[in-house]
Structure formats: C-alpha cells, structure tokens
C-alpha cells in the first residue's frame, strides 16, 4: 500500500489509520479481554509491516508489526488504533518495543481510558523523543473499541441488540407457533457474521425456552468461532434437554439466574449439562441487568450480541444498556395477531433522537436492516 506524499499530511494520516482500523477488525470478537487493535508501519510512503491483535489478546498489534519490520522500523511512522500500553501485564509494554525499534513517529486514534494506560503510553513515547499525534480516525476507533472502553470505564461490555420483525411489526406468532422464521437467508448469514464479531451471545430465558436456539456460528468456514452463550434465566427454567444445555460441553454456556435459586438446583443443572450457573440479584422478579453485565465484564467479556426477545429488548433499552440496535424487517407481514417485536416503550426509545440515532439502512436480500447507535 502506497499513498502519494503530495496529499496533505492529514489526509495521509487518515488513510493509513483507516487501513489500520480495517486490520484490527480482522479479529474483532476474538481478542477479549483485550481490544482488537490494528497497526501499520509506514516508511517513505510505503507500508513495511502490519499487525493486528492475535486471538486471545496477545501478541499485541504493535509488537507484531515491529517484529515483522525488524531494522526497517527505524525512522518509520507507526499507525495504531489505540494508545500503546505502558504497563507490564502478560506481555512487556508495547511502548518499550516501539522505542527499541527506533520508530520516529506514532499516530494513534484514541487515548486508552484503561487506568493502567490513560495517557502514560503517549507520555513515554514523547519522553523518548518520538513525535506523537492523537486523533485521526477517532470516531471509527471509538466504535471499534467501544467494548473495551465500556469495560474499563463502566464495568460492563458493549451490547449489540438484534431484533427481527415481520412487515407488520411482529416477532413471533401465537403460542403454538413460537419459532416463526421471519428473515431470509441473507439476513440469517449476516446474523452469523455478527455473532462471530462478539465475545458472547445472549438471550432471555423465554427465548431460550420457546425458540430452543443453538446460538452458535454456523456459516461454512466459521464454525471454529465459539462465542460464550449466555442465558438470562431468573428461575433456572431452561430444560437440561434443550439444545443449549445439551451442547454445553462442546460450546460454553453460562446461565445467569436469580439469587433465590437453591445451591442444590444450581449444582444439579451444572452436573447434568456441563453448563455454568451463576446467581445475581433480582428486581420485581427480573434479573438485575447491571449486575449481570458487570459479571460478564469481570470475566473479560467486552462485546455481547443480544438476541433476546421483546422483554430483554425493552429492559436493555430502558436502562440505556443497548449501545447498538440492529432491527431486521421482513418483506412479508404476519397477517394476524402475534407478539410485537418492539414494545411501545422500546419503540419510543429508538424514536427519541436524544437517545438513539439512525446510522444505517440497507437491504439484506428481501429484508431491510436498520441500525441505530446510542447517543453519548
């Protein structure tokens, strides 16, 4: 990749940062608890090395790029989507390898709000005589790293809420037809890709019981991706014979249930299925979502794809916990009474410009995908 030096430096920096962001997305959903960072080393207008955070979170992107460049890194510019770490963790600080590699200039999109970094990486680079620029690609980087940002600042993961509705606004049919298939094959494939980009897939207990989903990534060539499956089930009513529970020994399953559930019931379910069950408090008969999400964050989960039904959707939206909403609308109506995909309160939240903004509308086969982002 070469960019003509006749362009203004700001345009050059933006272009290389866009490429670094694209690299970081290659392992999005597979680097938790670390962010999925991308890095480019550029010298004399030519990309000499690339790196992106490895699965499991290490090696880090910067270390990979500098190791690949070797001596060619001296005098080069490093583009990296998040401030390089300056603390000793499972690996040495990335700033040490940047300084030792002789990099002359570092361009980052964002300061890392992790208290262990929080400007220290930039300061150490500047103190070593390296020119540091912060800001190109900041908006896109914040979106890509939102899960990491929320985990270290609010002790919760990012939540992507996915909903599907018929043309007349229903999520499912009558009680005898709970597994109504709404969307077409293109939307279904899109959903599997989205699952692969998250650390965990989450549903409510009602959806787990009624739909009996697998909650796995099943596109050809992607079956190796196994996000943690999470069920919010305040009464521990999930059947051990369900598809979720019966596959827990092959694909991890975490059931978050209410604190009133007895230790005996928890142990019996875990023994029968191989799943893990943890208890959190409840309010008005519903799980405390803040506690449930804190539990996930403390386990290193940064990105959650919620496929729960209308009740989970309303709860997440009411608490301003849905950071992104993906609404799929099919071309055909249900044509009879059913269960609304969005409750009036949930619809009001999405229609409130002070809370959510529309960021994308596009066709997925015969369906329409509408995407919203939380404001603030």
User: Could you say which of 5, 62, 324, 360 is catalytic?
Assistant: 62
Whether 62 is a known active-site residue: answer yes
Q: Among residues 43, 44, 25, 45, which one has the least CA distance to residue 35? A: 25
d(C-alpha 38, C-alpha 116), whole Å: 20
d(C-alpha 133, C-alpha 122), whole Å: 9
DSSP 188: H
Q: What is the pLDDT of residues 7-30, one digit of tens each?
A: 567 899 999 999 999 999 999 999
d(C-alpha 132, C-alpha 357), whole Å: 33
Q: What is the pLDDT of residues 267-299, one digit of tens each?
A: 999 999 999 999 999 988 889 999 999 999 999
* Neighbour tally for 336: CB within 10 Å: 10
**The two structure tokens encoding residue 187:** 């939307």
Token pair 């919010």: residue? 232
Stretch 164-180: mean pLDDT? 72
Residue 161's φ and ψ, nearest 5 degrees, are: -100, 120
pTM for the model stands at 0.93
Q: What domains are there in the chain, each with its CATH number?
A: 9-143 (3.40.140.10), 155-374 (3.40.430.10)
**The two structure tokens encoding residue 88:** 């000793």
Find the range with the poorest average confidence among 60-74, 126-140, 305-319: 305-319
85 is in an annotated binding site: yes
Please check whether residue 75 is in contact with residue 104, taking contact to mean a CB–CB distance below 8 angstroms: yes
pLDDT for the residue 6: 45
Three-state DSSP state, 280: strand
Confidence of residue 135 (pLDDT cuts 50, 70, 90): very high
311 is in an annotated binding site: yes
Concatenated DSSP letters for 2-63? B--TTS-HHHHHHHHHHHHHHHHGGGTTSSTTS---EEEEEETTEEEEEEEPPGGG-S-HHH
218 is in an annotated binding site: yes
Give the containing element (helix H, strand E) for 267. Answer: helix 263-273
d(C-alpha 331, C-alpha 226), whole Å: 31
309 is in an annotated binding site: yes
Cβ density class 32-42: b for 16+ within 10 Å, e for less: bbbbbbbbbbb
């Amino acid at each position: 990749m070469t960019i003509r030096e006749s362009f203004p430096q700001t345009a050059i920096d933006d272009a290389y940062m866009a490429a670094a962001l694209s690299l970081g997305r290659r392992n999005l959903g597979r680097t938790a608890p670390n962010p999925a960072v991308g890095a480019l080393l550029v010298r004399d207008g030519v990309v000499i090395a690339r790196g992106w955070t490895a699965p499991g979170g290490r090696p880090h992107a910067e270390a990979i790029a500098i190791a690949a460049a070797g001596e060619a890194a001296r005098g080069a510019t490093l583009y990296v989507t998040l401030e390089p770490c300056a603390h000793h963790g499972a690996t040495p600080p990335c700033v040490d390898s940047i300084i030792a590699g002789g990099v002359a200039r570092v361009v980052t999109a964002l300061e890392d709000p992790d208290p262990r970094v929080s400007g220290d990486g930039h300061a150490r680079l500047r103190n070593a005589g390296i020119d540091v620029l912060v800001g190109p690609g900041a908006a896109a980087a914040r979106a890509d790293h939102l899960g990491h940002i929320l985990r270290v600042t609010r002790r919760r993961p990012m939540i992507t809420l996915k909903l599907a509705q018929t043309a007349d606004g229903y999520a499912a049919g009558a009680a005898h037809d709970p597994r109504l298939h709404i969307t077409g094959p293109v939307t279904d494939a899109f959903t599997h890709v989205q699952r692969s980009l998250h650390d965990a897939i989450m549903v409510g207990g009602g959806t787990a019981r009624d739909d009996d989903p697998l909650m796995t990534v099943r596109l050809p060539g992607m079956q190796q991706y196994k996000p943690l499956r999470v069920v919010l089930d305040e009464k521990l009513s999930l059947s051990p014979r369900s598809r979720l529970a019966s596959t827990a020994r092959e694909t991890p399953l975490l059931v978050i249930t209410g604190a009133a559930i007895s230790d005996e019931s928890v142990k019996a379910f875990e023994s029968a299925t191989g799943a893990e069950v943890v208890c959190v408090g409840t309010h008005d008969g519903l799980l405390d979502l803040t506690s449930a999400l804190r539990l996930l964050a403390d386990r290193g989960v940064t990105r959650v794809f919620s496929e729960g039904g209308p009740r989970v959707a309303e709860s997440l939206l009411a608490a301003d916990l849905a950071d992104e909403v993906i609404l799929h609308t099919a071309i055909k109506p249900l044509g009879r009474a059913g269960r609304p995909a969005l409750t009036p309160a949930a619809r009001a939240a999405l229609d409130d410009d002070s809370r959510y903004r529309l960021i994308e509308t596009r066709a997925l086969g015969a369906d329409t995908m509408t995407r919203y982002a939380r404001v603030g």
